[in-house]
Structure 1
């Protein structure tokens, strides 16, 4: 592992990185929130299906 070479490449990447605009940040946050909500909804549906399968209503 070449430490000086790795450090210079990390510094170069950090110099190229920029702060996203508010529009870009809000779009990314909406998409990430929708993904989290979708995964949670799928988990809830699976939970309901499994609870009906293991304990059917009488």
Structure 2
């Protein structure tokens, strides 16, 4: 484990990294939000189907 080599590679990656533009950030946020909504809708659909098939007694 060479600490100097590791630090040099980390510094090189940080120098290449840049802040995304507003357009890029908003597209990423929209795609992530759509994915979260899709997973939530899928989970709710499975829950509704399972409740319909095997209702829980009250």
Q: Fold-level match, TM-score > 0.5?
A: yes
Q: 1:10-42: per-residue Cα shift (whole Å, max 9, x none)?
A: 000000000000000000000000000000000
Instruction: Output the TM-score relative to the length of structure 1.
Output: 0.92
Q: Structure 1 stretches (4+) deviating beyond 4 angstroms? A: none
Task: Say how many residue pairs are matched.
Answer: 56
Q: TM-score, normalised by structure 2?
A: 0.92
Q: Which runs of 5+ in 2 are unaligned?
A: none
| Two-structure CA RMSD over aligned residues (Å) | 1.2
Structure 1: any 5+ residue segments left out of the alignment? Answer: none
